[in-house]
């Protein structure tokens, strides 16, 4: 719980700075980059968050890995987290920041899960449909999960649209049990 409270304080400070410098969109993109790097490279994330890795090593990591790709504001923010030994709040901070920045920027995020990979055309079509429904720009994250068997599930915020074959089979099973067929 304390991490979320700390993350909120740091987040407010970063948002105010980004807003004052008219860099909200750039900072949002930079933090998306940081989140993507940690998502794609779990080992790097583990090193950055590990308490036995020294501040100097983490500072070199920020300067070597992130500095070439993010603004000075985000680089300095990451260095501040390292200096204050607050790297542990980064996950909560990134999640909260994305939510707030999306709200301010009129965007939404959607996770689309299918049993097999979607083509770019199909993904673009689903994205366009979601944007039409929400009247917002939608950033799409596509996932593959063979356990849904077929169909598609869409998660946006706290809403889930489950059009998967697995969900339909579960519903059919429930109906059959209700009428006494098992």
Domain 107-178 has CATH 1.10.15: no
pLDDT tens track for 12-26: 888 888 888 988 888
Which H or E run contains 134? helix 120-134
Q: Residue 142: what are its φ and ψ, rounded to 5°?
A: -95, 135
What local confidence, expressed as pLDDT, does residue 2 receive? 53
Fold of the CATH domain 2-103: Peroxidase; domain 1 (1.10.520)
CATH 1.10.520 residue ranges for the chain: 2-103
For residue 137, the SS3 value is strand
Is residue 1's pLDDT more than 50?
no
Strand order in the sheet with 151-156: 137-144, 107-114, 151-156, 159-164
pLDDT tens track for 161-174: 898 898 889 999 89
Hey, what long-range contacts does 41-48 have (CB within 8 A, 24 or more apart)?
48/87, 48/90
Is residue 36's pLDDT more than 90?
no
Average pLDDT of the chain to the nearest whole number: 86
Q: Residue 50: what are its φ and ψ, rounded to 5°?
A: -70, 130
pLDDT tens track for 62-96: 999 888 889 999 999 999 999 999 888 887 887 78
What is the pTM assigned to this prediction? 0.60
Rounded Cα–Cα distance for residues 136 and 115 (Å): 26
CATH 3.40.30 residue ranges for the chain: 107-178
What local confidence, expressed as pLDDT, does residue 87 receive? 85
What local confidence, expressed as pLDDT, does residue 182 receive? 56
Q: What is the share, in percent, of the chain residues with pLDDT greater than 70?
A: 97
pLDDT, mean of residues 33-48: 87
């Amino acid at each position: 719980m304390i991490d979320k409270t700390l993350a909120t304080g740091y987040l407010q400070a970063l948002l105010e700075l980004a807003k004052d410098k008219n860099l909200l969109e750039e900072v949002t993109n930079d933090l998306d980059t940081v989140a993507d790097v940690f998502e794609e490279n779990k080992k790097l994330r583990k090193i950055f968050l590990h308490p036995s890795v020294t501040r100097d090593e983490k500072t070199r990591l920020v300067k070597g890995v992130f500095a070439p790709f993010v603004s000075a504001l985000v680089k300095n923010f990451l260095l501040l987290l390292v200096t204050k030994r607050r790297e542990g709040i980064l996950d909560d901070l990134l999640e909260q920041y994305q939510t707030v920045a999306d709200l301010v920027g009129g965007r939404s995020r959607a996770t689309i899960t299918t049993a097999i990979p979607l083509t770019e055309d199909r993904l673009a079509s689903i994205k366009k449909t979601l944007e039409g429904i929400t009247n917002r720009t939608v950033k799409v994250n596509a996932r593959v999960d063979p356990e849904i068997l077929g169909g598609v599930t869409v998660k946006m915020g706290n809403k889930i649209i489950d059009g998967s074959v697995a969900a339909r089979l579960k519903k059919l099973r429930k109906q059959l049990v209700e009428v006494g067929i098992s």
